[in-house]
């Protein structure tokens, strides 16, 4: 029932796994009692245990809280009210930002697909998941824009594609197209599709426009449908490459994939762009989130 309700709300596979794991932990913490026989005090006790005894981070505790709230609201139809508990403290950490020179050195130390992906994180202000979720149809090199569909919060947006990345991206697309045509001849060009697309047009799975911009090297099985097809590149492939390049070029700073996104926003602000423009390009719902990125 829980998985069905999660999927009905189009939550991601990773969210489904996390929520189910936290709900199991909540039930085990209370010695296997059924959630219907428990309520707000039991949730507060569980959350306090995570913060005080397990010393989890604030983001981890918030995820556990969201999972249990989802259980009561959407699965048991018994929303909880006024939940108060000892909360894990969120450390105030300033976002790491590279200088333009440091960014150039880091990107120069990368090669191939990791370099192109990292360049999009910095040049277009993308999150790593957003970059890896791009499809061929999302890249418009003629108008120098990217359509970002797999955003945090499920909102779509349009962001810039730097002129300097047009040729590298077009060359990448040409290589991708050649490989795609070869796979299509063998009947192996299918990719995993969003639920709505697969229902509207099942044949879209092996069409050019729906191909991943950064596909994985091998096919995989969808854990929900059991369909075997190509998925996008795994995030760790890019994260490892950026981490290695950062160690070699900016050893005095903590530089990750997300650092490139923060650097994108900061450098645009320094060039005179207003914060509302940055909010739009970054895909933030609230301008306060943009301000925190730039703080």
- My answer on whether 60 and 171 are in the same domain is no
The answer to whether residues 227 and 108 belong to one domain is yes
pLDDT at 94: 62
What angle, rounded to 10 degrees, do the helices at 13-29 and 58-70 form? 90
CA dihedral 200, 133, 10, 21 (to 10 degrees): 140
How large is the C-alpha radius of gyration of the chain?
A: 22
Q: C-alpha 3: how far from its chain's center?
A: 20
206 and 120 together in one domain: yes
Task: Answer yes or no: do 24 and 167 share one domain.
Answer: no
Phi and psi angles of residue 288, each rounded to the nearest 5 degrees, phi first: -65, -35
- Cβ neighbourhood burial of 18 (10 Å; 0-12, 13-18, 19+): middle
Residue 157 belongs to some domain of the structure: yes
Maximum mean pLDDT: which of 178-182, 226-230, 273-277, 284-288: 178-182
| Entry pTM | 0.80
Shared domain for 150 and 251, answered yes or no, is yes
The CATH number assigned to the domain holding 33 equals 1.10.150.130
* CB burial readout 208-220, b (16+ within 10 A) else e: eebbbbbbeeeee
In a domain, 82, yes or no: no
Domain boundary residue, one of 41, 75, 109: 75
Q: pLDDT tens, 263-280?
A: 998 898 888 887 888 788
Domain boundary residue among 21, 41, 75? 75
Q: Tell me if 141 is assigned to some domain.
A: yes
Total domains in the chain come to: 2
Q: Are residues 257 and 113 in the same domain?
A: yes
- Examine the fold and report which residue of 40, 75, 110 is the final residue of a domain before the chain moves on: 75
CA dist 229 and 227 (Å) reads: 6
Residues 253 and 156 in one domain: yes
Tell me: do 267 and 197 sit in the same domain: yes
How does pLDDT run across 200-235, given as a tens digit for each residue? 887 888 899 999 999 999 988 887 778 888 999 999
Say if CB 163 and CB 141 are below 8 A apart.
Answer: no
Q: Give the domain range for residue 285.
A: 100-294
Written as one string, the DSSP assignment of 67-103 is HHHHIIIIISS----------------PPP---HHHH
* CATH code, domain carrying 154: 1.10.443.10
Picking from 106-115, 140-149, 200-209, 283-292, which range would have the lowest pLDDT averaged per residue?
A: 283-292
35 and 143 in a single domain? The answer is no
Span 50-76, pLDDT tens digits: 988 898 888 899 999 999 999 999 999
Closest CA to 274 of 258, 256, 294: 294
Same domain, 44 and 134: no
**CB neighbours (10 Å) of residue 94?**
8
Distance CA 239, CA 245 (A): 10
Q: Calculate the alpha carbon distances from 29 to 19, 24, 25, 42, 50 in Å.
A: 15, 9, 6, 10, 10
Is there a domain that residue 93 lies in? no
Name the band, by pLDDT with cuts 50, 70 and 90, for residue 7: confident
Q: Looking at the structure, do residues 141 and 236 belong to the same domain, yes or no?
A: yes
Inter-residue contact 111 to 237 (CB < 8 Å): no
My answer on whether 39 and 105 are in the same domain is no
């Amino acid at each position: 029932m829980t998985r069905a309700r999660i999927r009905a709300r189009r939550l991601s596979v990773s969210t489904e796994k996390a929520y189910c794991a936290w709900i199991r932990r909540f039930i085990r913490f209370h010695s296997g009692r059924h959630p219907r026989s428990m309520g707000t005090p039991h949730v507060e006790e569980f959350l306090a245990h995570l913060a005080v005894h397990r010393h989890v981070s604030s983001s981890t505790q918030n995820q556990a809280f969201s999972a249990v709230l989802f259980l009561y609201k959407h699965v048991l139809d018994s929303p909880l009210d006024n939940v108060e508990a000892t909360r894990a403290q969120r450390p105030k950490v300033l976002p790491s930002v590279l200088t333009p020179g440091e960014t150039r050195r880091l990107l120069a130390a990368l090669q191939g697909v990791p370099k192109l992906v990292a360049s999009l994180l910095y040049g277009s202000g993308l999150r790593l998941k957003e970059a890896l979720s791009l499809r061929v149809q999302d890249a418009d090199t003629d108008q120098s824009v990217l359509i970002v569909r797999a955003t945090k919060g499920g909102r779509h947006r349009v962001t810039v594609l730097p002129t300097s990345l047009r040729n590298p991206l077009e060359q990448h697309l040409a290589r991708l197209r050649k490989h795609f045509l070869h796979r299509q001849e063998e009947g192996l060009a299918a990719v995993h599709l969003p639920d709505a697309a697969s229902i509207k047009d099942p044949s879209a799975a092996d069409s050019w426009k729906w191909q991943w911009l950064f596909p994985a090297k091998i096919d995989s099985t969808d854990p929900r449908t059991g369909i075997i097809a190509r998925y996008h590149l795994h995030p760790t492939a890019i994260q490892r490459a950026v981490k290695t390049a950062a160690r070699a070029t900016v050893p005095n700073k903590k530089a990750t994939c997300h650092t490139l996104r923060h650097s994108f926003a900061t450098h645009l602000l320094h060039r005179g762009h207003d914060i509302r423009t940055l909010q739009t390009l970054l895909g933030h719902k609230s301008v306060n989130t943009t301000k925190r990125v730039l703080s």
